[in-house]
Structure 1
Amino acid sequence: MNPSSSSETFDVVVVGGGPAGATAANDLARQGHHVLLLDRAGRIKPCGGAIPPRLIAEFEIPDHLLVARISSARMVSPSNRDVDMPIDGGFVGMVDREHYDEWLRQRAAEGGAVRRTGTFNRLAREADGTAVMHYERRMDDGSVREDSVRARAVIGADGAVSAVARQCIPEVREIRYVFAYHEIIRSPDRSHPVFDATRCDVVYRGKLSPDFYSWVFPHGPTTSIGTGSACKGFSLRGSVAEFRKAAALDDLETIRREGAPIPLKPLSRWDNGRDVVLAGDAAGVVAPASGEGIYYAMAGGRAAAQAVALFLKTRDAAALATARKTFMRKHGAVFFILGMMQRYWYTNDARRERFVAICRDRDVQQLTWDAYMNKELVRAKPLSHVRIFFKNIAHLTGLAKAA
């Protein structure tokens, strides 16, 4: 490793090239800012890969990135009762993160961002207070050297265990994780007795996940089958092996295995009050209960970009706090409600059984899909909300049967 110094100065350094970082880099570069996008080599996040129509429209995602279109979900209870939830007149797009994330990074580069492969080490300061990012840079010939660049602002979008956050944001100690593990397998053919290439299966069973859920998400020629849990000592690999056997998917080719922590609560602060702001998993913006992260990562990346653009224009560090304020104003209520759902319904199999029973209700299905597809709470149907409220009370008190 050969040390090297750099006199380069960027308006913004974005650390992390996932959906959050790539979105922030693209937005800022296309506004004319000098942007460096730093990303590690060979990183593929374990992810179901679902993206709603609002994301596709809002972030201009082309059709060729959609490897499947899902028209329904099947919820499976601990006793193996299942509930189909069709999407009336719509679909959920599925993407392969290996290709989707790379396309986002390439779009940022086409918009003017400078791409480099490397790993963040630390932030230092020059005498005038300017941030200096030290990193290990991977060269085209495969060698690695120490390098550094100056930055007027830094966006930390480097994942759930963000090195930027650990150094710069004390509130990172608040973060809680679910650990997710999945296996990408070759999708079965149409003769398979259970598998449906147009349906996502979500399984609520304590044996497979004591505090979260397991899933089968089709991606066209491949499929993600996985599980998550925050319980220390729980064998995620063992659970997925058992799940694959139960789903008659154990004899299919395994293409790759991936695991990572997933945060389920936004941090109470995303910026250092000076020149650093977080986005995506680093800021904790993965939806509780569902574990959905791609849309919220990109929305958080855009909010961070807007905050940094304002900071660069005004030189007022208070502008950085607008990233969290903007995001939580739009999505905070959804995160609060999903967090309550997870804390209550995922506690034991008896509650999971009742949770799946609630999903049989057409009002619940319609409002669930409306909220998911449009990424906001639906307020236009007050009578449906009233009916759902009383149905929830009935299930919470045991007055309604789970069967």
Structure 2
Amino acid sequence: MSECFDVVVIGGGPAGATAAHELARLGRSVLLLDRAGRVKPCGGAIPPRLIKDFEIPDHLLVARATSARMVSPADVRVDIPIESGFVGMVDREVFDEWLRERAGVAGAVRRNGRFEKLERDAEGAALIHYRRRDAGEAERDDCVRARSVIGADGANSAVARQAVPGAERVRHVFAYHEIVRTPALVPAGYDGSRCDVYYRGELSPDFYGWVFPHGDTLSIGTGSADKGFSLRAATGTLRRAAGLEGAETVRREGAPLPMKPLRRWDNGRDIVLAGDAAGVVAPASGEGIYYAMVGGQLAAQAVEQLLVTGQGRALAQARKRFMKEHGTVFLVLGVMQRFWYVNDKRRERFVSICKDKDVQQMTFESYMNKKLTRKKPMQQVRIFFKDMAHLLGLARV
């Protein structure tokens, strides 16, 4: 007879590990199934709200970014200080494993394996078939029974494709980065406490390139939804532009990122999605860690409600609550990306807008607190008219 768990969490990234931790703390029997050795390409930025809400210890922060630099197609550089705070930078390989370990300490069973398919037993319960690999042993087939399932297995989620209607239609941006050693003699102008963002068509026709500090290493990468665009070649161009062409490459990583939240995250019965599987990567910025962890937390709360009440409709609360809190931000960022990232002329104007102190203050208040700030209505009026001037070509770049 198959092992039985209250919850099987498939995928051990920030969303899955957070969900497993939440449910294990509540006393639920949890299996956290993850493929060992996977590291997602990611700039590694986490805002103060994440650090506070999820109690992230200081030792996981490999750097603290206190400013951002935006670089236009014409090489105009706009430096934006992060006033009264910092953005934490993490190494995803270390950070994700710490989250999984925390789930394990809370009581979740951790297992190295690759999800293959979902079936039903005679009573209708979910049967999770996977390829299991224990330390020192050959890979083998295994199966567990689950009262509920959280699919947190990435943008190309097999759980979503098999269980949630419409999940197969999600569109993706493809991200690629190279982790390089921070050189002993850093290039002129380099600042290990600054995140550099490049808005240039040669680096991405619809996204951006980045150089983010990680202490002893750097993340250098780019992304695009254009499958014919060479991300690796563009990253090489970015390395030359940043003076880091000769830096030692530690590893190269690539993965798809979803472009918008799925319309549905659950099957109305016993399965709910979280993280990239649910499509919660912010447009324009590509930020995903915070939204993944919030999504994992909400998925766990919805599953707990399911287990208490036996009502499958409880799972819909995960998406409903997420979109109520963050849907407007995703909408605004999506519109911004579709308009400003379309060509270099508009990118030039976008970077020019970012010189404005009102824009800078509102942007970072919203980013740090994960809410569109509404405290200063006159500031928003000023920004509106400035944006209109740029849209109509009345402002000087």
Q: Percent identity?
A: 68
Amino acid at match of 1:237: R
CA distance in 2, matches of 1:236, 1:351: 21
In the alignment, which residue of structure 2 is the partner of 1:209? 204
- Structure 1 residues 395 and 340, CA, compared in 2 at 3 Å: closer, same or farther? same
Cα RMSD over matched residues? 0.8
SS at match of 2:31: strand
Instruction: Report how far residue 190 of structure 1 moved.
Output: 5.8
1:59 and 2:54 equivalent? yes
CA distance in 2, matches of 1:221, 1:274: 47
Q: TM-score, normalised by structure 1?
A: 0.98
CA distance in 1, matches of 2:57, 2:295: 21
1:289-327 per-residue CA deviation (whole Å, 9 max, x = no partner) reads 000000000000001000000000000000000000011
Amino acid at match of 1:185: V
In the alignment, which residue of structure 2 is the partner of 1:108? 103
In the alignment, which residue of structure 1 is the partner of 2:321? 326
Instruction: Report how far residue 7 of structure 1 moved.
Output: 2.0
- Candidates 167, 187, 194, aligned match of 2:189: 194
- Candidates 94, 97, 120, aligned match of 2:92: 97
Amino acid at match of 1:395: H
1:76 and 2:71 equivalent? yes
The gaps in structure 2 that reach 5 residues or longer are: none
CA distance in 2, matches of 1:219, 1:139: 32
1:322-356 per-residue CA deviation (whole Å, 9 max, x = no partner) reads 00001101100000000000000000000000000
Q: TM-score, normalised by structure 2?
A: 0.99
CA distance in 2, matches of 1:198, 1:140: 39
CA distance in 2, matches of 1:54, 1:66: 14
1:2-26 per-residue CA deviation (whole Å, 9 max, x = no partner) reads xxxx521000000000000000000
In the alignment, which residue of structure 2 is the partner of 1:233? 228
Moved over 2 A (4+): 188-192
In the alignment, which residue of structure 2 is the partner of 1:9? 4
CA distance in 2, matches of 1:136, 1:72: 45
The gaps in structure 1 that reach 5 residues or longer are: 1-5
In the alignment, which residue of structure 2 is the partner of 1:183? 178
- Candidates 298, 306, 311, aligned match of 2:293: 298
In the alignment, which residue of structure 2 is the partner of 1:341? 336
1:211-247 per-residue CA deviation (whole Å, 9 max, x = no partner) reads 1000000000000000001112110001111111121
Instruction: Report how far residue 191 of structure 1 moved.
Output: 4.5
**Retained in 2: the 8 A contact 1:211–1:346?**
yes
CA distance in 1, matches of 2:25, 2:312: 22
CA distance in 2, matches of 1:212, 1:228: 6
CA distance in 1, matches of 2:186, 2:42: 26
**Retained in 2: the 8 A contact 1:307–1:323?**
yes
CA distance in 2, matches of 1:190, 1:145: 49
- Structure 1 residues 205 and 150, CA, compared in 2 at 3 Å: closer, same or farther? same
**Retained in 2: the 8 A contact 1:96–1:219?**
yes
Amino acid at match of 1:70: A
**Retained in 2: the 8 A contact 1:188–1:195?**
no
Size of the alignment, in residue pairs? Answer: 397
Amino acid at match of 2:28: H
In the alignment, which residue of structure 2 is the partner of 1:40? 35
